[in-house]
Amino acid sequence: MRSAWAKKPLSVLTTADVVAYRDERLREVKASSLHRQFFIIQHATKIAEEECGWDVCSHIFNAIKIKRTPSSGVRRLSKTDAQSLIHAAGSCRNRLMQPLSILALETGRRRGELLSLEWDGVDFKHHQIRLQKNKSSYPRQIPMTHTSEGVLRGLWQASEGQDGLVFNLSPNAVRLAFERIRQGCGLTSVRFHDLRHEAISIWFERGLTMPEVAAISGHRSLSQLMRYSYSDTKALANKIRRSMSS
């Protein structure tokens, strides 16, 4: 709203005005971020034109191109690095950080999804986690692994059967604690979100198909999973060599 083009009447707005806004924003945010933000403007003009009958010159916004860099493969965590992070989390003052990190690695849940998880969404009888609040806005059933179920049962016993959140932590508390954890084990470039990336990569290595992985991960587009499916090039090379020798 502070941008010059936003103060102009639509009747005098030009493509050049919006292009200047795009170029200005690209100096501040990544192309992928601007693309998501710009989609809101495009959608608003479309609704205003088609449903409200406004003359909003939607063609101007639709003509703007935002060139995005193709997604690269995900960064993999070695088994040693993952174990180091989990071990360091066990020494954290916040006792919930180790089970939180293990569940992120076992379930592939985002930080927000784990922090919003409530005990009524944990189904020990059917070995599933029900997610109601998640990024995709679609409820999902997440199968428990033996490890994730063991962690959750331990937390359930510690909570003495009380209802409410499984992890009573704020996002900022997790961010600060994970910063100390990664500093402590010398993995300063690792993000908490990398635990989700690693979980998804492992599912592919275990032979799950793309639709199966998508059902667990929550991705709405299979194309988003392409960068995970062959993220471990060493494992892919070994698979090709085995097939050629058979």
Q: What is the 3-state secondary structure (H, E, C) of the chain?
A: CCCHHHHCCHHHCCHHHHHHHHHHHHCCCCHHHHHHHHHHHHHHHHHHHHCCCCCCCHHHHHCCCCCCCCCCCCCCCCHHHHHHHHHHHHCCCCCCHHHHHHHHHHHCCCHHHHHCCEHHHEECCCCEEEECCCCCCCCEEEECCHHHHHHHHHHHHHCCCCCCECCCCCHHHHHHHHHHHHHHCCCCCCCCHHHHHHHHHHHHHCCCCHHHHHHHHCCCCHHHHHHHHCCCHHHHHHHHHHHHHC
48-71 tens-digit pLDDT: 888 998 887 778 888 888 887 655
pLDDT value, residue 101: 97
82-134 tens-digit pLDDT: 999 999 999 999 999 999 999 999 999 999 999 999 999 999 999 999 987 65
Question: Where exactly are the structural domains of the chain?
Answer: 4-62, 79-232
pLDDT value, residue 235: 61
- The CATH number of 79-232 is 1.10.443.10
